[in-house]
Amino acid sequence: MRRIGGALFVIAGTVTLVFLILHWLPGDPAALVAGDTATAETIANIRAQLGTDRPLWSQYVAYIAGLLHGDLGTSFATREPVLGRLWAQVPTTMVLTLFSSAVALAAGVALGVVAAVHRDKWQDRTIQFVLLFLTSLPSFFLGILLILVFSVTLRWLPAIGNGSWRQLVLPVVCLGLITSGRLMRMVRSGVLDVLEEPFVMTLRGKGLRERQVLFTHVLRNALIPVVTVLGVLVGELLSGTVVVETLFARQGIGRMLVDALNVKDIPVVQGAVLLASIFFVLINMMVDLSYGWIDRRVRS
């Protein structure tokens, strides 16, 4: 219950933070909606219509009241409800995020375990080297390299757009690999820690096969701390979708956010950031809650 209350508090704070930051925007959205040829009077009319001429607190109260009714405002650019526009983009971004986290988990756990088991051998060193690259490479550069290799040179996969699963492969690989670095490091050190525990020696002494020790006993314990970084991972994925969707010209929340930013469509920007943040807070709350359930030691 306290966790849920905390999450609600954070969400309320986030709404306020996002609202305040965005209303510093120096550009006048009314002038943008009206176009270059509009007279001062037209702009003033549009401003009144959009409600941007009212004082900040009154806009804030109206915004909060709208939020409580599930109303995220109306897009300045298209005059459609923001929630509807964003909701239409949720599935494509969800698909991208889900598949990317699967790639990140698979790559992170597999490489992390291999590195730990072969500690300080060439496998470990190679993986450490790859890890250094993954944490230092801008996601959009990795994406461009993937496009160069798989679309331009080999012509295996399309570089842009969405629709078929083939168009999903490169964005998912790009986002997944970029976010797998942190997991890889966690899994490696987690497995190393558990391997030093006395019970592992007992198991080996009982004559269990190394494979069995590793997969049924060590991994289960090593993955517990990994759960805590899942929340952070989701944050990285959400941040990554903005760049990856722009790079691969995919539809989605991130792309819509960037497009809305360029035309100063504040309600859409606000809505997109809020949606992502609320999702992020909820995931983190679930991670917190599940941690006590998975690892009984932290319950007390």
- Minimum distance from CB of 137 to another protein (Å)? 5
- Alpha-carbon distance 88 to 124, whole Å? 44
Instruction: List the one residue from 4, 8, 13, 294 that touches another protein (CB under 8 A).
Output: 13
Instruction: List the one residue from 79, 90, 106, 125 that touches another protein (CB under 8 A).
Output: 125
| Burial environment of residue 115 by CB neighbours within 10 A (0 to 12, 13 to 18, 19 or more) | buried
Tell whether residue 199 is a contact of another protein (CB under 8 A): no
In the 8-state DSSP scheme, what is residue 150? I
> CB of 187 within 8 A of CB of 112?
yes
Closest CA to 280 of 49, 26, 38, 10: 10
- Minimum distance from CB of 143 to another protein (Å)? 9
| Binding-site string for another protein from residue 132 to residue 171, where x marks contact by CB under 8 A and - marks none | xx-xxxxxxx--xx-xx--xx------x------------
Instruction: List the one residue from 243, 256, 268, 287 that touches another protein (CB under 8 A).
Output: 243
Residues numbered 27-86 forming contacts with another protein, rule: CB under 8 A: 27
Near another protein by CB under 8 A, which window of 80-88, 102-110, 199-207, 271-279?
A: 271-279
> CB of 167 within 8 A of CB of 252?
no
Q: What phi, psi does 81 have (nearest 5°)?
A: -65, 135
What DSSP assignment string belongs to 77-90? Answer: TT-SBHHHHHHHHH
Instruction: List the one residue from 221, 235, 251, 288 that touches another protein (CB under 8 A).
Output: 235
Q: Tokens at residue 208, please?
A: 């269990």
Q: Tokens at residue 30, please?
A: 């009314």
> CB of 276 within 8 A of CB of 238?
yes
Tell whether residue 194 is a contact of another protein (CB under 8 A): no
Tell whether residue 109 is a contact of another protein (CB under 8 A): no
Q: Which residue in this structure is represented by tokens 């983009």?
A: 89
Q: Where on the chain is the footprint of another protein (CB under 8 A)?
A: 6, 9-11, 13-14, 17-18, 21-27, 119-120, 122, 124-126, 128-129, 132-133, 135-141, 144-145, 147-148, 151-152, 159, 185-186, 189, 196, 235-236, 238-240, 242-243, 246-247, 257-258, 261-262, 269, 272-273, 276-277, 280-281, 284
